[in-house]
Structure 1
Amino acid sequence: MSTSTPIAEAQPLSLCAREPRVPPERLVAELVPPPRFDSVRFSTYVPDPQQPSQAEAVRELSAFAASLDAAPAAGKRGWFGRRARTSAPAAPRGVYLDGGYGVGKTHLLASLWHATDAPPEKKAFGTFVELTNLVGALGFQQTVTTLSGHRLLCIDEFELDDPGDTVLVSSLLARLVEAGVALAATSNTLPGKLGEGRFAAQDFLREIQGLSAHFRALRIDGDDYRHRGLPEAPAPFTEERVVRAAETTPGASLDAFPALLGHLARVHPSRYGALTDGLSAVCLTGVAPVPDQSTALRLVVLADRLYDREVPVLASGLPFDRLFSEEMLNGGYRKKYFRAISRLTALARDAKPLVEASAEG
């Protein structure tokens, strides 16, 4: 009589064991709306009837998309063989969506990208971090060359964290506007206030004012839709339940939270998207307060990439609204931290069925 050897259960994946390498061509190819916003359209945005600015933003952006479709593409020849004007127009050739976190700015920005009648390779969509990372990978001039033929550049989460970024982005957008590229951006901060509370913005006022001149601001008011009318996010689970869910969920990762924070310091933020490739869920044990601002900002980027890719997050330890200290939440990066809390809380809610499924198994 033959005997069979028991098949060992597959071990959960580990983010800390991953050190992805991202070629520059992938950074360019990924300048499209992420999976969460791949199917959004203006028609799928549901304005809050108590907030007229939301419906107004849909109308304004729809008209902006139509104006781009009617305009000649950058670099095309016009009548009589003359090249279309590529100097910056008198009026801003860009829109800037300003509002609190969770009012649907990214939804609207992605809808604009989808509504613009141009092939995907002629319009770009990325976060501010992804744009600066692209410059780091390609170099300034090559980035200008790569993006100059585009009809539209959409920049999500536009936030200036240091003077170097201010000068870099000011120069880049000026060159792109000169080439005829239309701009659209989202942020929690008006363009004239970028950098405020983070560095000596008055020393870079000319660059900030130059950035502001490229945009017409649209204010979007409202509450955080991610939690509007929904039940409270689940409280953190015990470590045993998190580990069990990780072991029984194909494609899930399992890491100790402090170890993950340490690993993020060794991986460039431009690779955080690749870090999450193929994951069905992220399971974390021992969530604790983030120790310092640099670590906190890296965690914000990871939270954004997980949210974009719709990866649930299951955790033990402290709840996500206690990740950041009062000093952080009252400082210059407070809007980033509140956005991260909002998104991680939504992902925690998405992860609750994983625990239920593991308990049934």
Structure 2
Amino acid sequence: MSVLALADQSPTITPSELISGLVPPPRFDAARFSTYRPSPNEPSQQVALDTLSRYAEQIADPPKRGLFRKAAPMAGGYYLDGGFGVGKTHLLASLWHAVPGPRAYGTFVEYTHLVGALGFAETVKQLSGHRLLAVDEFELDDPGDTMVMTRLLSELSDAGVKLVATSNTLPDKLGEGRFAAEDFRREIHALASRFDTLRVDGPDYRHAGLAPAPAPSSDDEVRSAAAAAGQASSASLDDFESLTTALSRLHPSKYGRLLDGVPATFVTGVRPLDDQSAALRWVVLIDRLYDRTIPVKASGVPLDELFTPEMLKGGYRKKYKRATSRLLALAREAG
């Protein structure tokens, strides 16, 4: 086997692969309602589990109309609101697994990438026959993405597609503290009416009862660990600056393909990110690493300092905090 540099790779992905790839990530292949463990101290978790279980049954076997009256309409969709690591993605993936196809599962960003690849009309055509559209990590990066997703979800809902989304902010609060907040709010209010909100409360399970994240390794330790891992499989080893530059040249829709077949990744020279565009690209990469359960071993600053204090106070702070939570979990898995 060998050690490869992610920065040297140039993966490709076709539009048809984007559609067929709208499934839960490998980390949640086995997620089912039966494997979700609601905390007895957080009753909202049990409520969410029961509600989505019933909803899956309704989607699979919708109420029939009687001879003289219409059946009661089903909810257009549900919005799972809660903090990081409370099991929202587990519930969303469980719903997807419980509903017969066709159905689609992706993050907010993945759907905007799909529209960019296929065009809006073709995306609506491809997805309008689905029973369910699951949208994980509903986040707003710019007004253009907001308007595209608002229109896409509205048209799919009108076509009878059921919608379920997760986020860390209530629908009418998304976009606060960001540029053009009034434009965001106007769009979001129209979309929020499509959902019934389900709260999912609780602490971040990824860090409950765990020791602090591992201290950074030295550059030599990271390189030695990568070489050892490369003897058994194709691990990746990158310099942080080189990888950051390479990500700027690669469309985020390809980050998942970039990591296909990589069992572990090693990065030297991590430093705090003070450029927002670079930071947002790293968020996408971290999400794809987490999806695939790829452990991360790094040197440089502690990984909970990847995003600067200024970033963690800004409009994208929820996105950066979620990425930090996931990155620390991957660092623990690396040992």
1:46-89 per-residue CA deviation (whole Å, 9 max, x = no partner) reads 1122211111111111111111122179xxxx899xxx99xxx9
The structure 1 residue matched to 2:298, chosen from 315, 337, 340, is 315
What CA RMSD, in Å, does the superposition of the two structures yield over aligned residues?
1.9
SS at match of 2:217: coil
- Residue number in structure 1 paired with 2:112: 132
Aligned length: 330
Q: Which amino acid aligns with 2:326?
A: R
- Residue number in structure 1 paired with 2:39: 48
1:287-333 per-residue CA deviation (whole Å, 9 max, x = no partner) reads 11013111111100000000001111010111111111111111111
Give the TM-score of the pair, scaled to structure 1: 0.88
Mapping 1:229-268, distance limit 5 Å: 229-249=209-229, 250-268=233-251
The structure 1 residue matched to 2:59, chosen from 68, 85, 93, is 68
| Alpha-carbon separation, structure 1, partners of 2:183 and 2:276 | 23
Contact 1:45/1:107 (8 A) holds in 2: yes
- Residue number in structure 1 paired with 2:14: 23
Contact 1:285/1:317 (8 A) holds in 2: yes
Q: Please say if 1:217 is aligned against 2:200.
A: no
SS at match of 1:226: coil
- Residue number in structure 2 paired with 1:356: none
Change (3 A) 1:295 1:310: same
Mapping 1:281-320, distance limit 5 Å: 281-320=264-303
Greater CA drift, 52-61 or 176-185: 52-61
Change (3 A) 1:166 1:92: farther
Q: Please say if 1:38 is aligned against 2:29.
A: yes
Mapping 1:67-106, distance limit 5 Å: 67-71=58-62, 92-106=75-89
| Alpha-carbon separation, structure 2, partners of 1:136 and 1:317 | 36
Q: CA deviation at 1:203?
A: 2.8
Q: Which amino acid aligns with 2:135?
A: I
| Alpha-carbon separation, structure 2, partners of 1:66 and 1:72 | 10
Q: Structure 2 unaligned segments of length 5 or more: list them.
A: none
SS at match of 2:3: coil
Q: CA deviation at 1:277?
A: 1.0
Contact 1:161/1:199 (8 A) holds in 2: no
Q: Which amino acid aligns with 1:346?
A: A
- Residue number in structure 2 paired with 1:338: 321
| Alpha-carbon separation, structure 2, partners of 1:143 and 1:244 | 46
| Alpha-carbon separation, structure 1, partners of 2:184 and 2:220 | 51
Q: CA deviation at 1:233?
A: 2.1
Q: Please say if 1:197 is aligned against 2:177.
A: yes
Change (3 A) 1:218 1:264: same
| Alpha-carbon separation, structure 1, partners of 2:66 and 2:13 | 43
- Residue number in structure 2 paired with 1:358: none
The structure 1 residue matched to 2:154, chosen from 171, 174, 185, is 174
| Alpha-carbon separation, structure 2, partners of 1:185 and 1:214 | 11
Q: Please say if 1:146 is aligned against 2:126.
A: yes
| Alpha-carbon separation, structure 2, partners of 1:190 and 1:79 | 36
Q: CA deviation at 1:201?
A: 2.5
SS at match of 2:104: strand
Q: Which amino acid aligns with 1:267?
A: L
Q: Which amino acid aligns with 2:174?
A: L
| Alpha-carbon separation, structure 2, partners of 1:102 and 1:228 | 9
Give the TM-score of the pair, scaled to structure 2: 0.94
Contact 2:81/2:168 (8 A) holds in 1: yes
Larger Rg over CA atoms: 1
Q: Structure 1 unaligned segments of length 5 or more: list them.
A: 1-9, 353-361
